Amino acid sequence: MAETILKSQPRDEFGKGAARRTRRAGLIPAVMHARGEEPIHISLPGHDAFLALRHANAVLTIEINGAKTLTIAREIQRNPINDVIEHVDLQIIKRGQKIEAAVPLHIDGEPVTGLAILDSQELQVRAEATEVPEVISISVDGLHDGDTIRIRDLVLPEGVEPLDDPDTNVVTITAPQSEQVETPQAELAEALEEE
């Protein structure tokens, strides 16, 4: 995964009013966390952070006054109306450190018969912080109605270990259901015919 360097600045104002002022200045309020240490409040450059955070599990190098800190995005709060990023929680990481992350699943291809249904939208994995995949693609080419793909069947990148039960279904191939919706008029006509 490509790393992005974001030149940031410390933030010493807190609360809703301060966060609004930060966003009006084109910045995004953020907090960097490390286990056992005080959180570090920063402001990220708005446009660059927005582009970097389009990817799941984005690895960001935060530069503050020349010092660089490696982080991974853990929580991104967005405005539900305009999708603007309102706040970001970052976890401080080290190269080579293994972390747990949720990776989105994606279906590739078309089954021979039936429709491919994702039973889960994401997979919990453990991997080196800088090697967490953005997405896990699952090929359904050649599958038929009734086939399933379990976690143990997935082809994962080297060093990526699934944390969920290996027998858990992630994809099910199912025949499309043809639904006949009967209108009240159709039901009445059918009842009259039976009489």
As given in the structure block, the two tokens for residue 41 are 């409040």
- Higher per-residue confidence, 140 vs 83: 140
The CA-atom distances, in angstroms, between 177 and each of 49, 116, 118, 143 are: 44, 13, 17, 18
pTM given for the model: 0.71
In the chain, the domains with their CATH numbers are 4-93 (2.40.240.10), 99-174 (2.170.120.20)
Res 58 pLDDT > 70 = yes
- Cβ–Cβ under 8 Å, residues 50 and 57: no
* Weakest mean pLDDT among 39-48, 124-133, 183-192: 183-192
How many angstroms separate the CA atoms of 125 and 98, rounded? 10
127: Cα within 13 Å, side-chain hemisphere: 23
What are the backbone dihedrals phi and psi of residue 90, each rounded to the nearest 5 degrees, phi first? -115, 140
Percentage of the chain lying above the pLDDT 70 cut: 89
Res 162 pLDDT > 90 = yes
Average pLDDT over residues 108-112: 89
Res 8 pLDDT > 60 = yes
What pLDDT does 3 receive? 64
What pLDDT does 116 receive? 86
pLDDT confidence band for 113 (50 / 70 / 90): confident
Res 1 pLDDT > 80 = no
* Weakest mean pLDDT among 64-68, 170-174, 191-195: 191-195
How much of the chain is helix, strand and coil, in % rounded to 5?
15, 45, 40
